[in-house]
Amino acid sequence: MLGNTATVEKHTSTNLNIYCQSHGLLFQFLLREFLTVFKVVQHIEHLVGEIEGDALLNFEQTQELPLVLTNLYQAITHLTGKAVINEPHFPWSTDRGCLNKLHHYCYLFAHLCPGHKKETAEMNACVRKAFHSAQESRETTICIHQELVAKRPLHGDLTILFSLLDKIIDNISKASRLIIPITLDYRHDENVLYFILNHRESLDSLYQSSFLSNIFEQMYPGGALEVKEFLIRQYSKRGFHHLLTNINQKMAVLGG
């Protein structure tokens, strides 16, 4: 039995490695999808904030409910993708939802990438929980719509829906904090540094701070200036001279 388990684990590891020959590249996929997910979750949080609290008690009696449910359903399906029966399922498919793809990347990252095992495992768990809550939210939204069409009472379905949405928001917020120490591990990967440099505005918005300046200062004593010198040196060695102008322009904003 132990031998069989070891064989399964070996084959699993081999299959995962088919999709990941570069940890830095996988981390870029993860970050890109996380930025998309966070923007959608912010929109959901805004919709929830408009009608939570005392208003929720009377909300099912208002004419605004169908419109808000439609907006929520669109946002949730952006996260999960639409449920399609009898169709092959690939998490990286373009129509499968950004949180679905993030869930896939986090799973790969937790199983393949060295370092920060605690943070990567916790991030994977948070994203998995958020994804499952999003799936439940999608189904709950459909059920509420059906009840409204049939003009039947909702029996607390809205409370359940908003509880699920709060779980999505909470878990994605936790995952965002876990990304920071992992990012610091890529101080010597020019591709990851160039990626986050090109997404400065999105990252600063996500963390509501000068995220890039702070992370560069934690990576290098010389901060943005030292990162710029590193990027120029590495990409010059590789012959990517066409990137140097963009690096200089974007670093100038950071004082580098």
pTM equals 0.84
The most confident of 68-72, 127-131, 142-146, 179-183, by mean pLDDT: 127-131
Q: Which residue has the higher pLDDT, 210 or 9?
A: 210
pLDDT at 112: 83
C-beta of residue 44 within 8 angstroms of C-beta of residue 168: yes
Given a cut of 50, whether residue 1 has pLDDT beyond it is no
Q: Are 119 and 182 in contact (CB under 8 A)?
A: yes
Residue 6 has pLDDT above 50, yes or no: no
Report which DSSP code applies to 19: T
Query: In whole angstroms, how far apart are CA 200 and each of 72, 152, 223, 227, 250?
Result: 28, 48, 15, 14, 9
pLDDT tens by residue, 89-106? 555 555 689 999 999 999
Q: How would residue 107 be classed by pLDDT, with cut points 50, 70 and 90?
A: very high
Chain mean pLDDT for the chain: 84
Token readout for 131 is: 């994804």
CA atoms of 84 and 139, how far apart (whole Å): 13
Residues 6+ apart with CB under 8 A from 20: 26, 108, 112
Between 161 and 50, residue with greater pLDDT? 161
Q: pLDDT value at position 62?
A: 59
Confidence of residue 50 (pLDDT cuts 50, 70, 90): confident
Residue predicted with more confidence, 252 or 96: 252
Alpha helices for the chain (secondary structure H): 2-18, 23-51, 54-59, 65-80, 98-112, 117-149, 157-184, 190-198, 200-207, 211-219, 223-237, 244-253
Nearest one of 105, 128, 118 to 16, comparing CA atoms: 105
Where is average pLDDT lowest: 16-20, 118-122, 152-156, 220-224?
Answer: 16-20
State the Cα–Cα distance between residues 60 and 76, nearest whole angstrom: 20
Q: Give the helix ranges, DSSP H, for 52-116.
A: 54-59, 65-80, 98-112
Q: What's the pLDDT score for residue 89?
A: 53
